[in-house]
Amino acid sequence: MRIQEVRFQNLNSLVGEWKIDFTDPAYLADGIFAITGPTGAGKTTILDGICLALYGRTPRLERVNKSGNEIMSRHTGSCYAEITFTTRDGSYRCHWSQQRAHKKHDGELQVHKHEISDAISGQVLENKIRDVALKVEEITGMNFNRFTRSMLLAQGGFAAFLQAPPDERAPILEQITGTEIYSEISIQVHERQREEKNRLEILQAEIAGMKVLSAEEEEELRGSIAHKTAQEEKQREELDSLRKALTWLEQVARLENEIGSLEEQWQQYLKQLEAFQEDRWRLQRARQAVNLDAPYTQLRNLRELQAGDVAELERVREELPRHRAAITTAFEALQKARQELNELKILRKTEGETAKKVREMDLLIKQQGEQIEGIQALVDNGQTECRALQVEIDQGEQKLKEMLETLDDIEKYLRENGRDATLVTNLTGITRTFKQLQEQAGVLQKKDSARQQAAIALQSLLDAGREIAATYDTNKEMQEQQREIWQAGEDKLKEVLQGHEIDWWQDELDKYKEQENKLQKLMQIWDRIIQAEQDLQGGREKVQQLEGQQKQLNQEIGQRAVTVDHLAEKIEGLETRMLLLKRIRDLEEERAQLEDGKACPLCGSTEHPYARGNVPPIDDSQEEIKQVRKQHKELSEDLEERKIQKGQVDIELEHVAAAVKQAEKQLDKETELRRKSMDELGLDLSQVKTRGEVEMLANQSRESITNYSQQLKAITRLQKSSATLAARYEKSHTAFIQSDKALQQSILQQEHARREDERLNQEYQNLKDEIKNLQEIALHEVGEYGIAALPLEKLPAILKELGQRKKLWEAQQDEKLQLEKDISSARSEQGKLETRLQTRKNALDSEQEKLGQQQEEYGQRQQERLAFYGKRNPDEEEKRLDGKINFGEKAVEKAGEEAEKLQRREEVLVEREKTLTSTIQNRTPQLQKIEESFARQLRQTDFEGEEDYLQAKLSSKEQQSLAEAEEELKTEGTKLNASLSNSRKNLQGEKDKKVTDESYEALEEKLQTGEQELKIIQQEIGADKRALRESQETARKLQAQMQEIEKQKQELGRWQILHNLIGSADGKKYRNFAQGLSFDIMIKHANRQLQKMSDRYVLRRNPDQVLELNVIDYYQAGEIRSTANLSGGESFIVSLALALGLSAMASRKVRVDSLFLDEGFGALDDDVLDTALNTLAELQQEGKLIGLISHVPALKERISTQIQVLPQSGGRSLLQGPGCQQMTS
């Protein structure tokens, strides 16, 4: 890799954009060059720019990003670094840049940019910030650390290594050669070996607490499980029978409740039916009225049309006279509007000619007024500008005076505090050292806290261990006690069993229970036979009673039906008579024309009885019809009520007859069940004749059940007690195993805690020594600033003070530069302002003279216009007259339209009057005919008149509601009847099943007792299965644990072998081995370079100390010397040889054609310096370009090609030398 060109902008003191071309002939000719300049001028900044362009960081700044940028020049808004280099594969360009917001020096830092591209084609190869450094490593073969070890060699790094004792060289060599990983590997191997050993010990301790049942114990458990499973199955069958019986009793009770509820609903239904009679009569009349809705609607519509036409005719006749008077008035208004419009048009023509002359005069006045305003504005602005310029000149003189005084104060401060100038370049390094010291102090505090916690943890483990040991002894004693108690319980159980198994006792009990259950059922059957006989007798009596009621109701219904029919015929005859009487009354006018002895024109009779005043009165017939109709209604309602009663009696008779029939069947069925039940019990009806005898046999069975139940309870109680004692023994045994396991784990934990406590104490002491050395280095760095001590707790305050001094120095420098610029600018600005003031005064005098002339002419023109037209506006006058003319034209048009409209309206009214008169005359006979027809229809449908018809009508909504209610009552009656019949049938079907004769409470008590017994059996089965399963699982775990222990032993053996080779707690074993190899390689490369500088010395490693370096001095007969005895010049030669050897070692397979040494040459005499430079110059033969950074004057004389860093005022520097060019300042 060879660097071709470097570009950068605004880095530290090198402000502006700079370019260094390393392809300049001067570099190619000599092969070695120097970068010279005083301390703090910015020599190392050039190397920082190379690192920044490639890796986005520098040896002095680990991070340069949005959070902080300490390399950007002060008071600048952007910076960048760019490098062009070549490798075997081609040419590349790497660019890094960052700017502040809007590129202002006080703007916020933005995200930086980083990219690498092909230098020839310009193609970007990578531009992601995280990936650019990886791409550089891929192309160059060097990461940042390798690059700084092979191309940029830091000042004093190898002198520190050479002078350090052996025990301090390991971390230095790790840092330089990158062998830190070997220490970590050694420690990790040690930790892994220790973990694997602990894991094996834990596995071995765990198997101590595992207990497995013997084959005999497992077989005994399986037998117990099988026996108890059979008991469980039998108990389940009994419980299922009990549940079925309870369900049957619940079903019977539900059906009985359901029948009771339905009978209550039937009675309620009958009440609703009776309450609906009035609404049924209203619904019947409304249905009759519906048939007359069409003719009534026709009649009503015709009446409404006739009334509307009559009202409209009267309104038309009233409106015609008023309308004719309005027509006359409208034509008079039209004539007047036309006359006024003609007069306005004549006046508008005259006004137009005058307005034209006035507008010409106003235009001239306006133009001259605008000219005057413009000139006046110029005069006002000129006066304002003159005053402002004078104030600005006075203020500038005062400000210039203040700036000169401030500049004197700043120069005085800079002279008195000159030593703070180096803080600008050194504070970053000081901050880094302080930060490292603070971090180490923080680590020390954490180590101390961890050390104290480890000691506390160790003591806690020791205390807990003693408690665990005491618990172990207690649990062991408790286990023996529980085993003895359990064995005593087992002996007591065998005594109570009396040589039988528990199943024998249970079978005897079940036999007596079964016998007692059958006797109970027989008693229930006997009770149901007695009840059935009683029910059958009562049902037969009820049937006879209902049949009598049925016969009586049939007779009453027949009698009332005949009476209702007779009354209906009578009503029809009375209505016919009433219609004839109405016709006779309607012919009253014709009867008045009849004469005695003359023939009637209608019938031809010569006798006219009604003509002599014998017309029958109609009112008497109407009263009679009302009375008969009332009687007919009352009898019809009574008839309906009798029919309903008969329907109820029919339904009840049907139900009772069915119940009697069912009772007969039930009696036969129960008698047969009694016979079968007695056969099962081995009883004969001739021997056992009464229910009391059966009850006596049942009592004897219950006594036997009680005796066997008490014996079984005693056995069960002892079994439970034995199981409890066994569980207690198992619990105490488990506690003993757990305490044994806990004791083993406690011992292991105590041992681990002791080793951890020792390790932390050693690390704490080592860290204290490191902090002490670091404090001495830091004190050396800040000594020149008057700081004599560095207490750890005051480091932030000291660093803050130094930062404030640096900022104050920079601020004073910046303020000085700014003041010098501002003073120069202020003096120049003062001259410009005075010139502008004089020029503006001259222009102001000319403008004021011109303003006076224009104002005089403007006054004369205004007087002439006022005398001709006054203050009136010609536009407004014309607009006013045009508005009046427009209004007049609209008035004429509106008056004409109104007159024409009134004429058309008169014609419409006349025509409407004729039409209405004709329509009313034509409709009158039709209306009379329809009224007569509707009256006949009313009489035919039993309505007394139109009012009676209207009262009978119901709204469609109300009629629909009553019809729905009627239908609902019918549906409800049918549904209730069917439900009642079904429920009675279902009840009888359930009773026929005869599932049980016991009461619900007795069955429920038996069920609860049985479920409790089943639960106990299931718990015992579960406990046995759990014990068997746990034993099997423990056996499986034990086998797996043994396999795991064997595998763990193999794994521990592998790590033990590796630990014996490279493992150690502090990492020294493998680290020293790896560092010894690296040290040998580095010595080989260093000797190669050392031979080029001198044939006197050869480096060798001390065979007794891995990292000890000796020197063979051939000028002293091959004497082996320690590096501690080398002079300053000899140390530099050896250090340089080591540095070059490291460069060759770090570059590995990558060819490095550019090398920069930031090394001090001040300790060398002339001969040694010549030798070192000649050695470096020889590297040119290998195609390398060597750059040396130094401020030593002798070096400048011996190297002709130089890049000079020249300090300027304000903390800035310039570059001068071959290939150096400033692009922008």
| Single-letter amino acid, residue 1158 | D
Sheet holding 152-153, edge to edge: 152-153, 1154-1157, 1185-1189, 32-36, 1202-1207, 1213-1216
Q: How far apart are CA 858 and CA 836, in angstroms?
A: 33
Question: By the 8 A CB rule, do 877 and 355 touch?
Answer: yes
Q: How far apart are CA 513 and CA 508, in angstroms?
A: 9
Residues 6+ apart with CB under 8 A from 236: 1014
Question: By the 8 A CB rule, do 43 and 1159 touch?
Answer: no
The yes-or-no verdict on residue 125 having pLDDT over 90 is yes
* CA 610 to chain centroid: 105
CB neighbour class for 233 (10 Å; exposed up to 12, middle 13-18, buried from 19): exposed
HEC string for 661-694: HHHHHHHHHHHHHHHHHHHHHCCCCCCCCCHHHH
- Burial string for 1072-1090 (b: 16+ CB within 10 Å, else e) reads bebbeebbeebbebbbebb
Q: What is the pLDDT of residue 1218?
A: 92
Q: What is the pLDDT of residue 615?
A: 46
Tell which residue, 1134, 1142, 1127, has the closest CA to residue 1097.
1134
The yes-or-no verdict on residue 614 having pLDDT over 50 is no
Q: How far apart are CA 779 and CA 776, in angstroms?
A: 5
Q: Is the dihedral of CA 788, 791, 794, 797 positive or negative?
A: positive
Higher pLDDT residue, 970 or 1183?
970
Q: How far apart are CA 183 and CA 1070, in angstroms?
A: 6
Least confident of 25-29, 599-603, 755-759, 775-779: 599-603
The yes-or-no verdict on residue 1211 having pLDDT over 50 is yes
Tell which residue, 146, 178, 155, has the closest CA to residue 1136.
155
Question: By the 8 A CB rule, do 1191 and 38 touch?
Answer: yes
Task: Return the ∠ at Cα 345 (arms to 340 and 347), rounded to 5°.
Answer: 100
Element (H, E) at 45: helix 43-55
- Burial string for 419-455 (b: 16+ CB within 10 Å, else e) reads ebbebbbbbbebeebbeebeebbeebeebeebbeebe
Element (H, E) at 117: strand 113-118
CA distances from residue 1104 to 326, 378, 737, 1064, 1101 in whole angstroms, order as listed: 145, 102, 55, 20, 9
Q: What is the pLDDT of residue 575?
A: 66
Q: How far apart are CA 996 and CA 994, in angstroms?
A: 6
343-352 long-range contacts, CB within 8 A, separation 24+: 344/881, 344/884, 344/885, 344/888, 345/885, 347/881, 348/878, 348/881, 348/882, 348/885, 351/877, 351/878, 351/881, 352/878
Reported as a pLDDT band with limits 50, 70 and 90, residue 613 is very low
Q: How far apart are CA 840 and CA 378, in angstroms?
A: 11
Q: Cβ atoms within 10 A of the Cβ of 382, count?
A: 19
The yes-or-no verdict on residue 1206 having pLDDT over 70 is yes
Question: By the 8 A CB rule, do 410 and 815 touch?
Answer: yes
CA distances from residue 60 to 41, 47, 158, 675 in whole angstroms, order as listed: 16, 11, 18, 117
pLDDT tens-digit series, residues 1084-1095: 888 887 787 777
> What's 121's DSSP letter?
T
Q: What is the pLDDT of residue 164?
A: 59
Question: By the 8 A CB rule, do 352 and 842 touch?
Answer: no
Q: What is the pLDDT of residue 1143?
A: 65
The yes-or-no verdict on residue 158 having pLDDT over 60 is no
Q: How far apart are CA 1042 and CA 53, in angstroms?
A: 62
pLDDT tens-digit series, residues 566-588: 877 777 777 666 666 665 655 55
Mean pLDDT of the chain: 79
Tokens of 1217: 């030398």
CA distances from residue 1147 to 725, 1075, 1107, 1135, 1205 in whole angstroms, order as listed: 80, 18, 22, 18, 29
- Written as one string, the DSSP assignment of 167-183 is HHHHHHHHHHHT-HHHH
Reported as a pLDDT band with limits 50, 70 and 90, residue 163 is low
Tokens of 651: 């339904």
Average pLDDT over residues 887-893: 82
Q: Cβ atoms within 10 A of the Cβ of 83, count?
A: 25
Angle between helices 874-940 and 293-416 in degrees, nearest 10: 140
pLDDT tens-digit series, residues 505-530: 777 777 777 777 887 887 888 787 77
Tokens of 390: 């004078």
pLDDT tens-digit series, residues 1126-1149: 776 677 777 777 777 766 665 554
SS3 36: strand
Q: What is the pLDDT of residue 330?
A: 80
Question: By the 8 A CB rule, do 704 and 513 touch?
Answer: no
Tokens of 781: 């760095």
Least confident of 338-347, 1016-1025, 1158-1167: 1158-1167
pLDDT tens-digit series, residues 41-96: 888 899 899 999 999 998 878 888 888 888 899 889 999 999 999 988 889 999 99
Question: By the 8 A CB rule, do 115 and 86 touch?
Answer: no
Size of the chain in residues:
1225
Tell which residue, 1199, 655, 753, has the closest CA to residue 981.
655
| Single-letter amino acid, residue 1204 | Q
pLDDT tens-digit series, residues 814-863: 888 888 888 888 888 878 888 888 887 788 778 777 777 877 887 887 88
- The maximal CA–CA distance of the chain, rounded, in angstroms, is 201
| Single-letter amino acid, residue 643 | K
Average pLDDT over residues 958-983: 80
Tokens of 449: 């806290």
> What's 291's DSSP letter?
T
Torsional class of 512: left (φ above 0), alpha (ψ -120 to 50), beta (otherwise): alpha
Residues 6+ apart with CB under 8 A from 522: 674, 677, 678, 681, 694
> What's 73's DSSP letter?
P
Backbone angles phi, psi at 1112, to 5 degrees: -90, 120
The yes-or-no verdict on residue 374 having pLDDT over 50 is yes
Tokens of 1087: 């000797």
The yes-or-no verdict on residue 159 having pLDDT over 60 is no
pLDDT tens-digit series, residues 784-804: 777 888 787 888 888 888 888
pTM of the model: 0.37
Torsional class of 12: left (φ above 0), alpha (ψ -120 to 50), beta (otherwise): left
Q: How far apart are CA 375 and CA 19, in angstroms?
A: 59
Task: Return the ∠ at Cα 823 (arms to 820 and 826), rounded to 5°.
Answer: 150
Q: What is the pLDDT of residue 447?
A: 79
Tokens of 762: 């050693």
Q: How far apart are CA 831 and CA 585, in angstroms?
A: 138
Question: By the 8 A CB rule, do 989 and 207 touch?
Answer: no
Q: What is the pLDDT of residue 910?
A: 82
Residues 6+ apart with CB under 8 A from 1054: none
pLDDT tens-digit series, residues 312-348: 888 888 888 888 788 888 888 878 877 877 877 777 7
The yes-or-no verdict on residue 1162 having pLDDT over 70 is no
